[in-house]
Amino acid sequence: MILVVGGLNGFIGSNTTEALVEQGHDCVVTRHENTEIPRFLQKQIDHRHVIIEPADSTSVADLRKIGEKHKIDGIVNVAGGFASGEGPLRGLQGYFNMLSATFQVAQEWKVKRVTFSSTGGMYLGLQGTANEEQPLYLGQNPFPILAYQKIVEVAAGQFAKKTGVSTICARLLGMYGPFDGGMLGLPSRLVHAAVSRKPLNLENVFFGNAEDSLDLCYIKDLARAIALLQTAEKLQYDVYNVGSGSATPNRELVDAIKKAVPGFKADLPPGHFPFPPFPVMETKRLQEDTGFSPKFDAQSGIQHYVDWLKAGNPK
């Protein structure tokens, strides 16, 4: 039984829960305030392969209640954000509380492995291809989430050394697909505009210019990679890049959507987004230790996402 924090209604968590069940594992998923259930999890819930428990991921008391009801063998914490306390330190306090609660119950339950989501944003400003041994700048944090997830990586490494519990950080980048409520990336904005026939909204989209490219990974592939990391018998490292291993130009992305939704038009801003570039993330570690390779390319990922939205799913 694997506990997936944010596994019911989080974008990454819900898809990772599906991937874990498909690999033969039952899951307990947390629900805090949002009660929405993605359609692709309903069958697993009905068959009791996915069990929903209310919990605040920053509360050790809430998590302990789950351990009293279920024998938890592993923890996947891929929730997107945490909030605790008041004032300007609210977000930072949330991450500290989340880490403390997760570490506490992981040690008490004697789990085999804890997997945290991290970010490929670690490589912001680098060019070419980046691997996990690339030196990182601790002070280069244009977004709070980047600073927080650097803290997660450092804390996770120390927890593993002190306790012997396998603790993994998966650096994620460029994900899009079913249940993407935030729609922060260009692919989701484009697909929603194409299916809904509504004007394309590019407000606050990073790397959404015509000449930009990004290492994109369809959410079903990304979730499967996280599930493989969580359940691997043995892993050599504590940090893994999770991505497609190649860059998809935005022009190619638009062309893929035009094939899936004939008649769609999108005028992207010219040139490059005025921001330091992202490199392609090397995934050699992931491939060698789990056997992972993407099943979706840009065209098949876009088509799957289009079909999902056309089936009546809102996101």
| Portion of the chain with pLDDT greater than 70, in percent | 95
What is the per-residue pLDDT for 125?
Answer: 83
User: CATH 3.90.25 residue ranges in the chain?
Assistant: 176-214+246-281+294-310
**Does 187 score more than 90 pLDDT?**
yes
What is the per-residue pLDDT for 85?
Answer: 58
What is the per-residue pLDDT for 84?
Answer: 57
Q: Give the contacts of 13 (CB within 8 A, at least 6 positions apart).
A: 4, 5, 6, 7, 29, 76, 78, 79
- According to CATH, the topology of domain 176-214+246-281+294-310 is UDP-galactose 4-epimerase; domain 1 (3.90.25)
Cβ neighbourhood burial of 12 (10 Å; 0-12, 13-18, 19+): buried
Higher pLDDT: 92 or 246? It is 246
**Does 166 score more than 70 pLDDT?**
yes
H runs (alpha helix) in the chain: 11-22, 39-46, 60-69, 90-109, 144-163, 186-196, 219-231, 250-260, 284-290, 298-310
What is the per-residue pLDDT for 79?
Answer: 77
Q: How confident is the model at residue 104 (pLDDT cuts 50, 70, 90)?
A: very high
**Does 31 score more than 90 pLDDT?**
no
Instruction: Name the pTM for this structure.
Output: 0.95
Give residue 82's identity as a one-letter amino acid code: F
Q: How confident is the model at residue 81 (pLDDT cuts 50, 70, 90)?
A: low
Q: How confident is the model at residue 193 (pLDDT cuts 50, 70, 90)?
A: very high
Answer whether 31's CB lies under 8 Å from 5's CB.
no
**pLDDT (mean) for 235-252:** 96
Query: The tokens of 313 are what?
Result: 């799913």
Q: How confident is the model at residue 49 (pLDDT cuts 50, 70, 90)?
A: very high
What is the per-residue pLDDT for 277?
Answer: 82
Q: How confident is the model at residue 298 (pLDDT cuts 50, 70, 90)?
A: very high
| Portion of the chain with pLDDT greater than 90, in percent | 77
User: CATH 3.40.50.720 residue ranges in the chain?
Assistant: 2-175+218-243
**pLDDT (mean) for 246-271:** 96
**pLDDT (mean) for 210-229:** 97
**Does 80 score more than 90 pLDDT?**
no
What is the per-residue pLDDT for 127?
Answer: 86
Where is average pLDDT lowest: 4-18, 158-172, 298-312? 4-18
Answer whether 116's CB lies under 8 Å from 155's CB.
no
What is the per-residue pLDDT for 45?
Answer: 96
The CATH number of the structural domain formed by 2-175+218-243 is 3.40.50.720
